[in-house]
Amino acid sequence: MSLGIIEQGKDFNAPITRREYLRWLFKANNKFYSNQPSLQIKPADINSQPLFKDLPNNDPDYPLIQGLAEAGIIPSTLTKDNTDLLLRPDAPLTREVMVLWKVPLDYRKPFPVASLETIKSSWGFSDANLIDAKAWRPLYIDQQNGEASNLRRALGYTVLLQPKKVVTRSQAAATIWSFGFQDNVLTAADVLKREGSPSPSVVLPSPNVLKSP
């Protein structure tokens, strides 16, 4: 099953870089909402002022990643919660950053207040103290998303988040199986049905599934 989002022929057990995951997010969001322009992310103008020192406007992924930053989906100097001038695009993606970047495209509203105690009581992570405070709110929203939760699809049941652990391509692919929140979730199967493609024979609930959107 393919939506033309993920590059084929790569090792799905290998780590995914921050750059590659952002590329997937941009393409997947716009593919899922190809019939709803108001929900699409617009690519940035290559002549715009770069928001990250290590992502110049001649980088091939610049329009996509800068577009996500200009839309406020990923933290940048445009958002109040981040003054980091470095994206570190080729560094491995971590679990807490995966949630930080993906959940805004699911929830599409301002996040409610969340605290460390909120994460402990909702998720029950015994290593919650290791989670960056910037990830508390998206983590709380992700927990409220039931079976569509990104962490549940990527990791299955766990009482340890291991927030700084590197994400594999398989785990990352599981998170772009769907977009949306609670009763308003759109899946890859819905997109294929809309486009008249055969229904997918493989769902991506776990990091062991090697087929991808």
pLDDT of 121 strictly over 80? yes
The reported pLDDT for the residue numbered 82 is: 61
| pLDDT of res. 2 | 66
Over 80: is that where the pLDDT of 208 sits? no
Q: Assign 83 a pLDDT band (cuts: 50, 70, 90).
A: low
Residue 210 confidence (pLDDT) above 60: no
User: Is the pLDDT confidence value at 202 over 60?
Assistant: no
What confidence tier does 9 reach under pLDDT thresholds 50, 70, 90? Answer: confident
pLDDT-wise least confident of 16-25, 113-122, 124-133, 201-210: 201-210
Residue among 24, 17, 11 at smallest CA distance from 207: 11
pLDDT per position as a tens digit, 19-66: 999 999 999 999 999 999 999 999 999 999 999 999 999 999 999 999
Q: pLDDT grade, residue 200 (50/70/90)?
A: very low
pTM above 0.85, yes or no: yes
Write down the pLDDT at residue 198: 55
Q: What is the mean pLDDT of the chain?
A: 90
pLDDT for 197:
63
> Residue 209's pLDDT is what?
39
